[in-house]
Amino acid sequence: MSAGPASTVRLTTAAALLRFLKAQRVRRDGVEDRLLHGVFGIFGHGNVAGIGQALDEEGGLPHYQPKNEQAGVHAAIAFAKHTRRLGVMAVTTSVGPGATNMVTGAATATINRLPVLLLPGDTFANRWPQPVLQQLEHPSSMELSVNDCFRPVSRFWDRITRPEQLLHAAPEAVRVLLDPAECGAVTLCLPEDVQAEAYDWPAHFFDERTHVVERRPPSTEAIAAAAALLKAATRPLLIAGGGEHYSDAFAALRALCDGTGIPVATTQAGTGALPADHQCWLGGLGVTGTACANAIAREADVVLCVGTRLSDFSTASKTLFQDPAVRFVSINVNAFDAHKHGAVPVVADARLGLGALTEALGGTRYALDATRAARARWLQERAALCRPQPSGALSQAEVIAVLNERAGPSSTVVHAAGGLPGDVHKLWASVDARDYHSEYGYSCMGYEVAGALGVKLAEPAREVFALLGDGSYLMMANELVTSVQEGRKITVVLLDNHGYQCIHNLQRGCGGRSFGNEFRARVDGALAGAPVAVDFVQNAASLGARTFTARTRAELVRALDDAQRERASCCIYVPLEEPSRLPGSSWWDVPVPEVSQQPEAQRARADYERALHKRRFYH
């Protein structure tokens, strides 16, 4: 029963915020759950007595202790992604460095359209002690703090300088977190004095409330226009993006494919939308895509985009679609994305949009010959790429294929940056919609281990793998400790190639000399000496992981099987002897110097200029 407006509850701002959040529930398609599933938090003077005290005193919200605030946000992002944006985690920090450590995480969430609630501590609203420890004083405005850095990377940003502002800010924060078109990082900056300040809150502010996440239906006009274009198509291609997953639109996608025979390529976020054994499956699209998806894309006359931002990786920097008359149809709940490339926009939920389109297409059927032939060619090529090498040493491709085989449908493999995302996108054959988890919007090194923890928290029964390079591991492996602390097992599969090798490849591909990318000792002024020796196995063991080393296919299979039997977190260390160089089948725009004294760079510039001619303005 709702309390009368006269009734109030005296609580601190911090306690009121947590009590409000605990009372929020989410429902979609009749399935209901709480909105906030926990709070990651490292405490400092800017939040220990405010949010920290309230978390303890209020109870009812699990607190997780990350080892870096950015990692806390990464885990929260992965949690939201795995729960298809229906479950949210918050992150609380102190003022100053704790807060700004989250800026990269905020950008990662917002770019991927994933909801996280960020609660950075902020310096005193009453300004008495200024400059408080860790306060950056801005000479032109006392209103600014370092937390203003969150404004451009947040979907909603506010600073609570008086307790009662929460009455309006908190419901708005929840609205944005749950809006499929608007969600991203929601940042509520909480000055440390305000967190601890009391207020007489209207009691009904804390009443339980269920928010229904609606599915936006498409308009009849939009569906008619989309269907007209698609009916006239002879070489259509469907691109499935992350929106396909967030909308849980897999059955609708399959029905469209079964009905029409339209081939499907997936973006990184969309991978898993269709199982790899489906006759319409072409695998990954674009720069990191398969030869078969890119061959079909080059010829496509109508491209049906579903829940994708169409990043440069998906369009091969606007060189992928080469039919001069190519047209786009875009089903997207976000109008901004739906209108890209002059598409016929269908601003709608993916499931409903696909359903309506399937109906409108009636008996339209496309010839499957080209899809079948391209698929068959690619599956052969894939098998050759993953074949054991004569030396017996593992290649990156072979590691991915073995992991793909052994992990099975109840596992999730998390990846984000380095050479791996490209190779995994190319080679992965999804069995289950949740077996592939890629953060490739921000491609943020260091996401992988924390992301794996986030997935594990979202679905503890899953086997979760973090697949990453030595560079990413060195940047942020610390959440291994948190996984051990929480008894939430993850398995890190670490591929060691002594450096930032994908950028090393890119550097040389752009005509550059080897410079600054390998982990080598400094000799004669350059990082060109012996590889820096890092004992990753001891490192992972010291963080609490059970460790394995795999140099051959047999060792890798054994390590994966042993690790699956373990209850504790594991790290499988894979030293790579051979460089990874899977052939690409499309172009990526990375500017090459217009003038250089180096002949290789001059040659690369000429290639670059030739490639630019393939760029198209899609309209």
Residues of this chain that bind ligand TPP (CB under 6 A):
417-420, 443-445, 468-472, 497, 499-503
CA 241 to chain centre: 12
Judged by CB under 5 A, which stretch of 91-99, 403-411, 463-471, 550-558 contacts Mg ion?
A: 463-471
502 touches which of ligand TPP, Mg ion, none (CB within 5 to 8 A by kind)? ligand TPP
**Residue matched to tokens 């059955």:** 251
Please list, residue by residue across 279-306, b when 16 or more beta carbons sit within 10 angstroms of its beta carbon and e when fewer do: ebbbbbbbbbbbbbbbbbbbebbbbbbb
Q: Which stretch binds Mg ion (CB under 5 A): 229-237, 291-299, 489-497, 610-618?
A: 489-497
Candidates 247, 497, 585, 586: give the one binding Mg ion (CB under 5 A).
Answer: 497
Residue 416: CB minimum distance to Mg ion, A: 13
Question: Which of 16/416 has CB closer to ligand TPP?
Answer: 416
What token pair was written down for 200?
């007489």
Closest distance to ligand TPP from the beta carbon of 70 (Å): 9
- The closest alpha carbon to 282, from 311, 261, 306, 301, belongs to 261
CA distances (Å), origin 223, targets 214, 309, 334, 352: 19, 20, 16, 11
What residues does 209 pair with on adjacent strands? Answer: 24
Nearest approach in angstroms of CB 497 to ligand TPP is: 5
Q: How far apart are CA 309 and CA 174, in angstroms?
A: 24
Q: Which is nearer to ligand TPP, 399 or 444 (CB)?
A: 444
For ligand TPP, which is the closer residue by CB, 191 or 469?
Answer: 469
CB of 257 to ligand TPP, least distance (A): 33
d(CA 303, CA 343): 9
Helices (H), 179-216: 192-196
Does residue 135 bind Mg ion (CB under 5 A)?
no
Cis ω for the linkage preceding 131 (within 30 of 0): yes
The CA–CA distances, whole Å, from 186 to 73, 118, 253, 292, 575 equal: 12, 6, 31, 39, 40
In contact, 98 and 46? CB cutoff 8 Å: yes
User: Quick one: what does residue 445 bind among ligand TPP, Mg ion, none, with the CB cut-off 5 to 8 Å set by partner type?
Assistant: ligand TPP
Question: Residue 417's binding partner, choosing from Mg ion, ligand TPP, none, with beta-carbon cut-off 5 to 8 A by kind?
Answer: ligand TPP
Nearest CB to ligand TPP, comparing residues 272 and 499: 499
Binding window for Mg ion (CB under 5 A); candidates: 98-106, 129-137, 194-202, 468-476 = 468-476
Q: Name the segment binding Mg ion (CB under 5 A); options: 41-49, 113-121, 469-477, 576-584.
A: 469-477
Q: Which does 163 bind (CB under 5 to 8 A by kind): Mg ion, ligand TPP, none?
A: none
Rounded distance, CA 129 to CA 137, Å?
12
For residue 397, the minimal CB distance to ligand TPP (Å) is 12
Closest CB to ligand TPP among 271 and 472? 472
Q: How far is the CB of 580 from ligand TPP (least distance, A)?
A: 7
| Tokens encoding 494 | 């670490």
DSSP 287: G
**In the bound complex, what is the minimum distance in angstroms from residue 117's beta carbon to Mg ion?**
33
Residue 445 CB, nearest approach to ligand TPP (Å): 4
Residue type, 476: M
